[in-house]
Amino acid sequence: MKLDIIAQLVQILKDAPDVGAIEIRRGWFGAWSTVRVSKAGHVAGNTGGHVVVTQGQVPAPTAASMPAPPPPAAAASHLLDIKSPMVGTFYSAPEPGAQAYVKVGSRVNVGQVVCIIEAMKIMNEIESEVGGVVKEVCVQNAQPVEFGQALFRVDPNG
């Protein structure tokens, strides 16, 4: 792995408080490598809390790829975020032309599928970790998303 990539990964750790660890594994004679990015407070064995990418797919951190800073305390709201557990492409429906899993005004329950994120040609159904009414859809269909990026904002009291 090149030194500039490692420096970029270290910068991600500094800039993203929700990233707890970055683990790098190299294969036999450097033939392959794996990078694992874990959320803060998650155990590495928890498959919902990390992302695995191969060396050729390590994204260069840019302003667009870094997690957005939290809103100012004065603007804090009671809405809860459903965040992306991985890097990939967001899809709001199970297939092209189908109705979205959820939209603004939809009621969601814990464990309900709210979208799909395609990562490394695998379609991953994303389940809600909160219950309530969807007040905002934060990403557009077929848009790339980052680890920890807000996908939906939910009013738990709605």
Give me Rg for the CA atoms of the chain.
Answer: 17
Same domain, 53 and 97: no
Boundaries of domain holding 12: 3-57
Is there a single domain that holds both residue 86 and residue 139? yes
> What's residue 14's pLDDT?
74
Alpha-helical runs (H) found in the chain = 3-15
- Contacting residues for 83 by C-beta, under 8 A, at least 6 apart: 148, 149, 150, 151
Q: Which two tokens stand for residue 132?
A: 């309530």
- Count of domains observed in the chain: 2
Are 83 and 151 in a shared domain?
A: yes
- Give 129's contacts (C-beta < 8 A, 6+ positions apart): 82, 110
Residues 34-62 have pLDDT tens digits of 666 666 654 444 444 444 444 444 444 45
Q: Which residues contact 89 (CB under 8 A, 6 or more apart)?
A: 117, 118, 119, 142, 143, 144, 145
State the number of CA atoms in the 13 A half-sphere of 20 facing the CB.
10
pLDDT at 41: 55
| Structural domain includes residue 70 | no
Q: What burial class does residue 24 get, using C-beta atoms within 10 Å of its C-beta: 0-12 exposed, 13-18 middle, 19+ buried?
A: middle
Are 85 and 53 in the same domain?
Answer: no
Residue 103, pLDDT score: 94
Under 8 Å between Cβ of 20 and 42: yes
Question: Which residue stretches of the chain have pLDDT < 50?
Answer: 42-61, 73-76
Is residue 102 in some structural domain?
yes
Look up residue 101 and give its two tokens: 């899993």
Do both 86 and 146 map to the same domain?
yes
Same domain, 88 and 133: yes
**Token pair in block for residue 128:** 């809600």
93 in the same domain as 27: no
Q: Give the domain CATH number at 116.
A: 2.40.50.100
52 lies in some domain: yes
User: Do the domain assignments include residue 91?
Assistant: yes
CA distance 66 to 58: 13
Whether 127 contacts 135, CB under 8 Å: no
